[in-house]
Amino acid sequence: MEDQLRSGGGVLVELADDAPMADGPPADGEGEAYSYVGPGGKDKRAIIYPLYLNSKKTVQQGRKVPADIAVENPLAQEIHEVCAQLELRAVMEPIKTHPRDWGKFGRVRVELLDALTNEPLNAQVTTRKQLLREIARRIPRLQSRVNPPKQTHLTIQQQLGLEPIPAHLLAQMQAAHAGPMPPQAAPAPHRSGKKGRKKG
């Protein structure tokens, strides 16, 4: 079982992956007013970063699912979409980053247990560990993965060289850099013989 170290009030607290609890309550104005706050103001939502599911990362780098179900470069939007499929209340925080993966923006807060009744919102997914594995299995089946739209512009990560540029965009950039060939002027018609004098 993998553990996660979190900082709270200057004290590192070790939490197991299969615990449904998440970090402390969100800052003012952050997230939505769901019933995720339990007695004492404890935030009971799980926090999911794309890093936890990324097949490009090792366990030492922060991956928290087995390599055989990990997903290549998952997005916070995809995590949020899967949570909607699972009928779990989730809030996406697009500007948050993980300290070990600062180039990847976005994380999702997910409510697994009702704060008042302590009952699971989805009986099939009651812990963070179960949630991570279910998200990893479902992301490849999302419509955006099965029939991905062609990318039309570079992301910030691609501009900074943190992610590879898709082949079709690279070809467009190379073609634009080369530029179109200038039009060739039509050659002047060739005239043979000398111009004779007009006889009067």
pLDDT recorded at residue 9: 36
**Percent of residues, the chain, with pLDDT higher than 70:** 66
- pLDDT tens, position by position, 36-60: 666 677 777 899 999 999 999 999 9
pTM of the model: 0.59
Q: What's the whole-number mean pLDDT along residues 153-162?
A: 72
User: With 80 as the cut, is the pLDDT of residue 177 above it?
Assistant: no
Domain ranges of the chain: 3-141
Average pLDDT of the chain?
76
Burial of 45-60, coded b for 16+ CB within 10 Å and e otherwise, reads bbbbbbbbbbbebeee
Q: Which fold has domain 3-141?
A: Phenylalanyl-tRNA Synthetase; Chain B, domain 1 (3.30.56)
Q: Using 50, 70 and 90 to split pLDDT, how confident is the model at 154?
A: confident
Distance CA 33, CA 143 (A): 30
User: With 90 as the cut, is the pLDDT of residue 129 above it?
Assistant: yes
Distance CA 195, CA 81 (A): 82
**In degrees rounded to 5, what are phi and psi of residue 128?**
-65, -35
Distance CA 113, CA 37 (A): 10
Residue scoring higher pLDDT (26 or 64): 64
- Residues 90, 110 contacting (CB under 8 angstroms): yes
- pLDDT tens, position by position, 69-117: 999 999 999 999 999 999 999 999 999 999 999 888 999 999 998 878 8
Q: What's the whole-number mean pLDDT along residues 138-165?
A: 80
